């Protein structure tokens, strides 16, 4: 019997290409998701994702490779949205049940890899056919592929932290190894030359700074990189690579930060092994140039070297140390006029070529603003007088009266700023005129035409007329203020008389109304808090569900923009409201508190038991719903008052003191991150050892964002021996000039960091007391730089301790604050990443009035609208960026993180 040969089993060919001519054409299809997808319920999104899986699987079986590829890629995009949903942490089991486990997604990624390889080959063949060429097809069987590929198991790393270039090359060619490579060099270097590997994503070094999280990196990456970045959730191994790091990476370098982010701020890769490429891309390029896109590209000069290789001497020459007395001898970011040197004034104006006409125009603009401001003061004062004459039957009179009083304070502060600006301009005018006079005496000609001189004289006459009008308005303002003060004195006398003659008992409403009469010299205490708060800590609270705490925000409903909700004043709590609004507009902190996973970071074993962090997060989330015009932070105030009694009352407090204590509380509430120590403490650099000891080996997201470190160097003037100590800080407190109406932020920074003489310092080398110079430098830059101005001081001229306020107008930059010059020379390498970006201002806590009578507001840059807004308790209004600089500025909030559109980041 003759056996018939077996016929080969027919294989269904893939369906013809019909969606594009290149793999990039498919990106436009899979990146499209509904605009409202983020606002939908998590259950609905998951059901949509499940249908997408079923549909993509059907396309895959039908050999419609393009539709299957688009479907699976769209699924990956949708999974990212699901993981960012606020309900994801709570409903993770439901999501897994609907969409499958990590093993299921591993199979999807395998399909995606096969589809991408097949489609790229088919698109190439299609292009060749259209060009009239014959494609050459090489068929490689599985057995041949296995013989050509080294046999490497997925356990090739074990417990090692690094991999060699040879090992990486081997596993890149082994299809059985589940691997993703992250290249953390700059985007430019990556574009010029990178590995030839499908699962390779560039995480640019400028994103890798303290305070970054995996979610924020995902947002900052371009769309084509986000899908590759999401592969970290299903890959068994992630290899990190920079240019040339060998051994343990230097702290705060990009590869160190990326490793830290993946280990501490990425909940999606709990089972993924993180490995570093020893020797970096430079090593791989040396051994396997053919596996790189551009073997001829040269690496940059090494930026990061171990701190031990740097000279430990901070100031080799003691004469190089600038002294504090030089701090206010020069301006900051704006040139000034040296009144003592007429030659200097001439050269300055020759260099600037700023004609007197420009100065006069600026003078006129200031006068116009000052005149309008004086009219606003008069109108507000008149409105206050009208309110005082009304019967106290309206419960809202107190609130309106207080609001008008605060407005008068702010207008008067602004008027003071205009006077300071006008004085500066008058000084420039006088110096320019002196220069002209000198040139005329030398027979030189200033004006080219006589008409210019006549026009200028006419301009000056107009300015004199405007100044006369302004003086009249100011006199009227002062008269109104005196009248209001006289009425207040009469009201006080009436109240004193009533107290002496009326029996003890409940105070009548008229007496309370008299106590609330507004004044510019005495701050009324408006206690508008509702009933005493119940002890909300007695509510049911479990570690598995922290949202069961019942919070009474007492909201006033109204659709406003996100982040534009005001805070009610609960009895002189404007100091607290001002700080909360600045923290609310700290973009990275805001994002952290909006992520449900932050609750996993709460420390329940400290003094405040995580309650402060929990309540601050609740307030910030309520401020960003966009559903309320204003809310009340009752629970937060109550909890804060439990741990610091002064903040629980209705007395006015200092916003800087509140911020400093709040930062310590928040750090303690979130201090759950174990610091990575690769060696013993004694072998660490002194700055690193001091940092770890200060935080007791445990960090927090707050310490990564807000805390920096100061290096204090004392140098002996006799033997030049140096001694250094280190101290951590969450804000810098800067001195202001004693008798100056205007100065620049750089002057204040110089005053803080410049050297000062120390008498009788015991030199360890001389073994005796010697004169020395003490100098401060920054050894660790924070991502968020908080700067406080010391405006309040004890008046030395008074017998009793009386505090005064410095009303100095500090000119500070809104962008490009450069802190590089204040870095310790021995610590420059560690701060390389933060010096890539200049600091930009995003928040200001303002104080208006005096020590006895004051009010706090906040100016904040809204990240969504990219506009400045004024937060005055429950009132929120937009302001112009030019109005942010004011003498009321008390605390500045700067950020060097890329939380603005990339076009704005420098």
Residues carrying an active site annotation: 574, 855
Secondary structure letter of residue 633 according to DSSP: -
d(CA 200, CA 178): 12
d(CA 251, CA 306) in angstroms, rounded, equals: 9
Strands laid side by side in the 768-780 sheet: 722-729, 708-716, 768-780, 756-763
Query: CA–CA distance from 426 to each of 334, 356, 433, 543, 737 (Å)?
Result: 16, 11, 10, 64, 21
H or E element at residue 472: helix 450-501
Contact 228, 198 (CB under 8 A): no
Residue 718: how many CA atoms within 13 Å on its side-chain side?
14
Q: Are 213 and 302 in contact (CB under 8 A)?
A: no
Q: List the 273-277 sheet strands across, edge first.
A: 162-163, 273-277, 237-241, 179-183, 200-202
Report the 10 Å Cβ neighbour count for 211. Answer: 26
273 half-sphere exposure, CB direction, 13 A CA radius: 18
- The 3-state secondary structure of 581-605, one letter per residue: HHHHCCHHHHHHHHCHHHHHHCCCC
Which pair of tokens denotes residue 23? 């793999």
Name the phi and psi angles at 897, rounded to 5: -85, 150
Residue 384 tokens read as 């206050």
How far is C-alpha 107 from the geometric centre of its chain's CA atoms? Answer: 40
Contacts of 114 (CB under 8 A, 6+ apart): none
In whole angstroms, what is the distance from residue 179 CA to residue 588 CA? 30
- Give CA separation, 49 vs 66, 99, 123, 359, 853, in Å: 18, 7, 28, 64, 59
The Cα–Cα gap between 796 and 802 comes to 8
Which residues, including other chains, have CB under 8 Å from residue 566's CB and lie 6 or more apart?
Answer: 577, 629, 630, 631, 871, 872, 873, 874, 875, 876
Q: Is the separation of the CB atoms in 232 and 102 below 8 Å?
A: no
Q: How far apart are the first and last CA of the chain?
A: 84
Q: Is the distance from CB of 403 to CB of 383 less than 8 angstroms?
A: no
What tokens appear for 471 in the block?
């003086």
Write the CA distances from 897 to 267, 731, 761, integer angstroms: 22, 17, 40
Long-range residue pairs from 717-722, CB within 8 A, at least 24 positions apart, any chain = 717/318, 717/770, 717/771, 717/772, 717/773, 718/763, 718/766, 718/770, 718/771, 719/763, 719/765, 719/766, 719/770, 720/318, 721/763, 721/764, 721/765, 721/766, 722/313, 722/314, 722/315
Closest alpha carbon to 616 in 681, 551, 682, 545: 551
Taking the C-alpha atoms of residue 227 and residue 201, their distance in angstroms, rounded to an integer, is 9
The helix, strand and coil proportions of the chain, stated in percent and rounded to the nearest 5, come to: 45, 15, 40
CA distance 659 to 665: 10
Alpha-carbon gap, residue 661 to 728, rounded angstroms: 14
């Amino acid at each position: 019997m003759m056996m018939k040969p077996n016929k080969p089993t027919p294989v269904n060919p893939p369906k013809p290409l019909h969606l594009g001519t290149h793999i990039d054409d498919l990106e436009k299809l899979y990146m499209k998701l509904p605009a409202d997808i983020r606002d939908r319920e998590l259950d609905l999104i998951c059901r949509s994702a499940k249908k997408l899986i079923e549909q993509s699987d059907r396309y895959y079986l039908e050999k419609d490779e393009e539709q299957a590829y688009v479907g699976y890629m769209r699924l990956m995009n949708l999974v990212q949205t699901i993981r960012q949903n606020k309900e994801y942490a709570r409903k993770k089991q439901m999501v897994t049940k609907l969409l499958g486990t990590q093993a299921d997604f591993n199979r999807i990624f395998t399909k995606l890899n096969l589809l991408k390889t097949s489609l790229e080959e088919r698109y190439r063949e299609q292009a060749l056919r259209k060009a009239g060429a014959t494609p050459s097809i090489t068929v490689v069987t599985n057995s041949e592929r296995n013989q050509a590929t080294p046999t490497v198991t997925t356990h090739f790393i074990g417990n090692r932290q690094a991999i060699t270039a040879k090992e990486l090359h081997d596993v890149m060619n082994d299809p059985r190894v589940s691997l993703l490579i992250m290249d953390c060099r700059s985007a430019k270097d990556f574009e010029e030359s990178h590995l030839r590997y499908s699962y390779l994503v560039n995480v640019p070094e400028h994103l890798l700074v303290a305070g970054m999280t995996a979610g924020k990196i995902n947002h900052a990456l371009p769309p084509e990189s986000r899908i590759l970045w999401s592969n970290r959730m299903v890959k068994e191994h992630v290899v990190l690579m920079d240019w040339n790091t060998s051994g343990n990476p230097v702290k705060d370098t990009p590869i160190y930060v990326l490793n830290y982010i993946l280990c501490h701020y990425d909940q999606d890769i709990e089972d993924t092994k993180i490995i570093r490429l020893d020797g970096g891309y430079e090593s791989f390029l040396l051994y396997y140039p053919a596996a790189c896109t551009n073997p001829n590209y040269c690496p940059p000069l090494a930026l990061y070297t171990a701190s031990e290789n740097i000279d430990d001497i901070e100031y080799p020459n003691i004469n190089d140390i600038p002294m504090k007395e030089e701090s206010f001898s020069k301006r900051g970011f704006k040139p000034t006029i040296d009144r003592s040197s007429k030659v200097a004034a001439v050269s300055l104006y020759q260099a600037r070529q700023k004609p007197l006409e420009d100065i006069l125009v600026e003078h006129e603009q200031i006068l116009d603003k000052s005149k309008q401001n004086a009219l606003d003061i008069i109108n507000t004062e008149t409105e206050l007088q009208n309110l005082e004459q009304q019967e106290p039957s309206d419960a809202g009179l107190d609130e309106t009266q207080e609001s008008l009083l605060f407005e008068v304070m702010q207008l008067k502060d602004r008027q003071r700023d205009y006077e300071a600006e006008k004085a500066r301009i008058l000084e420039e005018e006088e110096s320019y005129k002196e220069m002209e006079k000198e040139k005329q005496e030398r027979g030189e000609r200033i004006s080219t035409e006589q008409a210019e001189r006549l026009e200028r004289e006419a301009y000056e006459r107009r300015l004199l007329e405007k100044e006369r009008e302004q003086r009249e308005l100011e006199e009227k303002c002062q008269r109104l203020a005196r009248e209001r003060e006289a009425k207040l004195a009469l009201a006080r006398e009436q109240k004193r008389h009533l107290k002496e003659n009326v029996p003890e008992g409940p105070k009548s409403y008229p007496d309370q109304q008299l106590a609330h009469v507004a004044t510019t010299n005495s701050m009324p205490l408006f206690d508008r808090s509702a009933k005493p708060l119940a002890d909300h800590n007695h509510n049911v609270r479990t570690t598995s569900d922290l949202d069961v705490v019942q919070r009474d925000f007492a909201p006033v409903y109204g659709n406003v923009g996100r982040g534009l909700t005001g805070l009610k004043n609960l009895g002189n709590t404007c100091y607290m409201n001002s700080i909360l609004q600045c923290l609310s507009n700290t973009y990275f902190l805001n994002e952290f508190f909006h992520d449900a996973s932050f609750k996993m970071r709460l420390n329940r074993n400290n003094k405040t038991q995580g309650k402060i962090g929990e309540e601050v997060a609740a307030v910030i989330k309520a401020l960003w719903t966009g559903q309320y015009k204003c809310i009340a932070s009752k629970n937060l105030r109550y909890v804060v008052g439990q741990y610091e009694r002064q903040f629980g009352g209705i007395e006015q407090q200092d916003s800087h003191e509140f911020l400093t204590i709040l930062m310590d509380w928040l750090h303690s509430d979130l201090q759950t991150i174990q610091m990575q120590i690769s060696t013993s403490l004694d072998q660490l650099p002194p700055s690193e050892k001091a940092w770890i000891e200060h935080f007791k080996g445990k960090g927090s997201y707050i310490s990564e964002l807000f805390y920096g470190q100061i290096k204090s160097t004392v140098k002996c003037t006799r033997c030049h021996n140096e001694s250094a100590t280190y101290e951590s800080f969450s804000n810098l407190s800067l001195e202001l000039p004693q008798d100056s109406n205007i100065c620049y932020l750089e002057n204040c920074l110089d005053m803080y960091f410049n050297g000062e003489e120390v008498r009788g310092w015991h030199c360890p080398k001389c073994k005796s007391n010697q004169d020395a110079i003490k100098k401060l430098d920054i050894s660790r830059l924070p991502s968020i730089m908080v700067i406080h101005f010391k405006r309040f001081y004890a008046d030395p001229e008074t017998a009793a301790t009386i505090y005064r306020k410095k009303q100095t107008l500090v000119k500070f930059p809104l962008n490009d604050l450069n802190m590089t010059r204040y870095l310790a020379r021995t610590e420059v390498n560690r701060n390389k990443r933060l010096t890539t970006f200049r600091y930009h201002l995003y928040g200001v806590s303002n104080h208006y009035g005096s020590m006895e009578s004051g009010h706090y507001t906040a100016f904040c840059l809204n990240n969504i609208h990219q506009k400045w807004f004024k937060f005055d308790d429950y009132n929120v209004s937009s302001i112009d960026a030019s109005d942010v600089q004011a003498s009321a500025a008390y605390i500045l909030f700067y950020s060097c993180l890329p939380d603005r559109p990339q076009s704005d980041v420098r």
